[in-house]
């Protein structure tokens, strides 16, 4: 039976009675199979599983529709039944008695690149809420998906740089049968949009094929970014970036690069910003 709590005081009491090691999965709700994979992974690596459901206003920009973000607590809780031991679903005022909070956490320079450049302040909002939830839940492990690759890299830095006593567990991207990376945002796409969006997963497949040749990987990404990739015709898919970066610094790599690289993609399809990513080992 999954217990649901909404206040910090209830959370504290419920947390104390959780047996053994604890893994947390943090979400903004509107759960889908991608989230459930994270919860199943949490179940594998810990004795008890906590899921948080909180649409965090701090990570939405002034032009992003925080109010319109999908919310379905009853549906989410039904999906988690039997999978999570405890669900923490606070109201905004419970997390932020003063909004914006006068003191918050900064994602630093990593938070200003790629997704952070397009969404100023977004990653500061993410690291602030994640830090608070880690303190409130005190888990042994926190499970995050690799699709939000920059978020994952920043959270790994957060834990290392602030010496937070938690292990980050990364879970591979969950894909639909078509190859499309699972995301709450896919719900905004029409059937034609879902087809067009496959240019992202096809680009991922193409760079995986081009590896380990760094120059060939970069050539695939350059073509994709210019809209010359398979299916990425101008007007249908608007690329934000298609880059190979150093996974630690998010600096773009050159054709002479050796070692691990992260390929990060972002494109707008029917006005919806979609992400995809993969890790490769290349040699120049
Ligand atoms: O990835 C998300 O859904 C959010 O950024 C997170 C980690 C739950 C913080 O609000």
- List pocket residues of ligand 1, CB cut-off 6 Å: 26-28, 56, 59, 126, 129-130, 148, 151
Q: Which DSSP symbol is given to 182? A: P
Mutate to test the pocket of ligand 1, among 127, 130, 153, 169 (most ligand atoms within 8 A of CB): 130
Q: Which DSSP symbol is given to 213? A: B
User: Which two tokens mark 197?
Assistant: 């969006």
238 Cα: distance to centroid of ligand 1 (angstroms): 25
Cβ–Cβ contacts within 10 Å for residue 58, how many? 22
pTM of the model: 0.93
Q: What is the reported pLDDT for 235?
A: 57
Partners of 265 in the beta sheet? 242, 276
Q: What is the reported pLDDT for 81?
A: 94
Say whether 17 counts as a known binding-site residue.
Answer: no
**Among candidate residues 27, 23, 31, 142, the one with its CA nearest the CA of residue 79:** 31
pLDDT in tens, 146-183: 999 999 999 999 999 999 999 999 999 999 999 999 99
User: Which two tokens mark 30?
Assistant: 């509107």
User: Which two tokens mark 284?
Assistant: 């120049």
Mean pLDDT by 10 residues, the chain (284 residues): 96 98 97 94 98 98 90 96 97 97 97 96 98 98 96 97 98 95 90 96 98 97 80 70 95 94 96 95 91
Count of residues making up the chain: 284
Residue 157 near residue 183, CB atoms below 8 Å = no
Distance between CA atoms of 169 and 35, rounded to whole angstroms?
Answer: 14
Q: What is the reported pLDDT for 232?
A: 45
Q: What is the reported pLDDT for 1?
A: 86
Distance between CA atoms of 128 and 41, rounded to whole angstroms?
Answer: 24
**Residue 87 three-state SS:** strand
Q: Write the residue with the smallest CA distance to atom 9 of ligand 1.
A: 126
pLDDT in tens, 47-62: 999 999 999 999 999 9
Q: Which atom of ligand 1 is nearest to the CA of 55?
A: 10
User: Which two tokens mark 62?
Assistant: 């002034």
User: Which two tokens mark 237?
Assistant: 């898919």
> Residue 85: which residues within 8 A CB-CB, separation 6 or more?
2, 3, 18, 48, 49, 50
Three-state secondary structure of 82-144: CCCCEEECCCHHHHCCCCCCCCCCCCCHHHHCCHHHHCCCHHHHHHHHHHHHHHHHCCCEEEE
Q: What is the reported pLDDT for 187?
A: 87
Partners of 275 in the beta sheet? 266
Distance between CA atoms of 23 and 45, rounded to whole angstroms?
Answer: 7
């Amino acid at each position: 039976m999954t217990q649901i709590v909404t206040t910090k005081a209830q959370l504290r009491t419920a947390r104390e009675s959780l047996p053994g090691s604890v893994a947390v999965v943090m979400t903004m709700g509107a759960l889908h199979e991608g989230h459930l994979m994270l919860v199943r992974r949490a179940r594998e690596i810990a004795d008890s599983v906590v899921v948080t459901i909180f649409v965090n206003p701090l990570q939405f920009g002034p032009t992003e529709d925080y109010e319109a973000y999908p919310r379905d607590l009853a549906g989410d809780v039904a999906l988690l039944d039997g999978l999570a031991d405890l669900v923490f679903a606070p109201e905004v005022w419970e997390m932020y008695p003063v909004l914006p909070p006068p003191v918050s956490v900064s994602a630093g320079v990593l938070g200003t690149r790629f997704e952070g450049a397009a969404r100023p302040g977004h990653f500061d909002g993410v690291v602030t809420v994640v830090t608070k939830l880690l303190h409130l839940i005190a888990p042994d492990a926190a499970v995050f998906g690799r699709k939000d690759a920059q978020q994952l890299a920043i959270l790994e830095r957060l834990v290392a740089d602030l010496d937070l006593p938690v292990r980050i567990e990364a879970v591979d991207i969950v894909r639909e049968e078509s190859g499309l990376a699972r995301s709450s945002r896919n719900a905004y796409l029409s059937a034609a949009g879902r087809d067009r969006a496959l240019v992202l997963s096809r680009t991922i497949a193409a760079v995986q094929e081009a590896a380990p040749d760094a120059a060939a990987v970069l050539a695939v990404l350059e073509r994709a970014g210019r809209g010359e990739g398979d299916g990425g015709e101008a007007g249908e898919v608007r690329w934000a970036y298609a880059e190979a970066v150093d996974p630690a610094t998010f600096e773009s790599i050159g054709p002479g690069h050796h070692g691990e690289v992260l390929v990060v993609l972002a494109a707008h399809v029917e006005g919806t910003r979609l992400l995809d990513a993969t890790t490769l080992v290349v040699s120049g």
